[in-house]
Amino acid sequence: MMVALKNLRFLRLEWVELVGDFQYIFPKLRWLSWVLDYHKQMNLNFSLPNLETLEISSYFITVGWDGWGMLQGLKNLKDLILYGCCYLKTTPYFPDHMTMERLLLKKCGYSLFGCWEY
């Protein structure tokens, strides 16, 4: 069980399995950096009203990834950074209410030679 971290503004998760309810645990979080593991569960029951920067890194993310649904509740998101998303061939649908200012794609996309070969 994780206790509420009410003043936390930056969080970096690497290869972490989250199970449980994270609805109100990070109310002031502004930056979330998350290295996802394909074999781990990911709980998307987050309430991140102040999140401005979301950085996601994982090779398995595609345009059909279930995690894109979390963008619906991120009304203050300014920066979306996607890193190492080899199989992402196009951007996901971004809700009309988003005020995103920057989309950074780092080592994303797949070529005939394999991931990250440009």
62 pLDDT band, cuts 50/70/90, is confident
Separation CA 32–CA 28 (nearest Å): 11
Lowest mean pLDDT among 6-10, 85-89, 99-103, 104-108: 85-89
What's the whole-number mean pLDDT along residues 107-114? 63
User: Residue 116 has what pLDDT?
Assistant: 47
The encoded tokens of residue 116 equal 């990250």
Question: Are 27 and 49 in contact, with CB atoms under 8 Å apart?
Answer: yes
The encoded tokens of residue 102 equal 């920057």
Q: Over the stretch 12-33, which tens digit does the pLDDT of each residue have?
A: 988 777 666 677 788 899 999 9
44 pLDDT band, cuts 50/70/90, is low
The encoded tokens of residue 105 equal 């794609």
**Nearest residue to 83 (alpha-carbon basis) of 68, 53, 102, 61:** 61
Q: Over the stretch 83-92, which tens digit does the pLDDT of each residue have?
A: 988 888 888 8
Residue type, 103: L
Residue 26: CB atoms within 10 A of its CB come to 23
Separation CA 114–CA 45 (nearest Å): 33
Question: What is this structure's pTM?
Answer: 0.80
User: Residue 113 has what pLDDT?
Assistant: 47
